[in-house]
Amino acid sequence: MSYEHILVAVDLSQSSQEVIEKAVSLARSAKCKLSFAHVNVDRVALTPKEQQTLEEELQALAEQCGYPITDTFAVIGDLHIKLSGIVKRKNIDLVVCGHHHKLFSRLFSSIPKLANAVEADLLIVYLNQ
């Protein structure tokens, strides 16, 4: 299957690099569009300065990835709801995100909700950190 638009969900941590590298590799192979999204799930509102900081961090990741980025999204809310909305609005056909294999992640993973909400293929990158 050939993808036309890949969305990478990043948490702006060092482990995001693994997820980005996987997505860039897939985008290069498919010669498709690539977009980045960061969903801040810990806040209900951001000050304009906090929003600008998030957007700058996301843009820095985009500039360092070595592949043209179509869009960047820095939003707050529930991961599965926000990504589902982006997928629908931007015609995303693959979402790439990472998953840490730690006890907390196993108990409270957002992956099942994401899999049920997103109307696109979903690639989960195993993160060992």
Could you tell me the residue range of the domain that residue 122 belongs to? 31-95+114-128
Please give the C-alpha separations between residue 54 and each of 10, 29, 31, 71, 75, in angstroms, as whole numbers.
11, 29, 28, 14, 9
> How much is the pLDDT for 105?
45
pLDDT digit string, tens, across residues 78-123: 989 999 999 999 999 999 998 765 544 444 556 778 888 899 999 9
> How much is the pLDDT for 104?
42
Residue 75 lies in a domain: yes
| Residue 81 vs residue 127, higher pLDDT | 81
Residue 10 lies in a domain: no
Q: Would residue 77 be called left, alpha or beta, if left means φ above 0 and alpha means ψ between -120 and 50 degrees?
A: left
Q: CB of 16 within 8 A of CB of 26?
A: no
Residue with token string 């969305």 = 7
Residue 24 lies in a domain: no
Q: Tell me the average pLDDT of the chain.
A: 88
Residue 18 lies in a domain: no
Residue 120 lies in a domain: yes
**Mean predicted confidence (pLDDT) in 70-78:** 92
Residue 6 lies in a domain: no
| Domain count within the chain | 1
Residue 103 lies in a domain: no
Q: What is the rounded CA–CA span in Å between residue 101 and residue 107?
A: 10
